[in-house]
């Protein structure tokens, strides 16, 4: 990523980078497939969020989550994985301050639940 300072606790309440790295291991098979150009940005924003002047980490935008889950849906199924409930796209903001707000998602994707 284009930053070198993160903020903890992260969005999943990990207090160290080691905890976050261990949990991110579940995504290694998905990362290796390169199923979405949005995957790295999304995972980093959740597990290793950029340090800002704000007191809390910036969450990923819902549009970023929707774009990557759409891109990776077939790959996730093929690998026998399931998208973690804690990362369901509905949990992330659809407007306001968030990471990846330049990702545009067609309106018909927003109604699809993964």
- For 11-34, how does the pLDDT look when each residue is reduced to its tens digit (9 = 90+)? 999 999 999 999 999 999 999 999
Q: Where are the alpha helices (DSSP H) in the chain?
A: 17-24, 28-33, 39-47, 62-78
d(CA 71, CA 81): 14
Domain ranges of the chain: 17-111
Torsion of CA 51, 61, 41, 54, to 10 degrees: 0
Task: Give this prediction's pTM.
Answer: 0.85
**What pLDDT does 1 receive?**
59
More confidently predicted of 109 and 72:
72
Q: What is the CATH number of domain 17-111?
A: 1.10.2000.10
- For 30-81, how does the pLDDT look when each residue is reduced to its tens digit (9 = 90+)? 999 999 999 999 999 999 998 888 889 999 999 999 999 999 999 999 999 9
């Amino acid at each position: 990523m284009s930053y070198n300072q993160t903020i903890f606790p992260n969005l999943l309440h990990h207090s160290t980078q080691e905890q976050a790295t261990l949990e991110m291991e579940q995504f290694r098979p998905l990362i290796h497939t390169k199923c979405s150009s949005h995957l790295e940005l999304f995972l980093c924003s959740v597990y290793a969020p950029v340090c800002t002047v704000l007191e809390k980490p910036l969450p990923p935008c819902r549009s970023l989550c929707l774009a990557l889950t759409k891109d990776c849906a077939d790959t996730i199924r093929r690998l026998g994985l399931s998208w973690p409930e804690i990362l369901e796209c509905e949990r992330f903001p659809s407007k306001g301050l968030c990471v990846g707000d330049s990702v545009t998602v067609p309106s018909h994707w927003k109604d699809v639940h993964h």
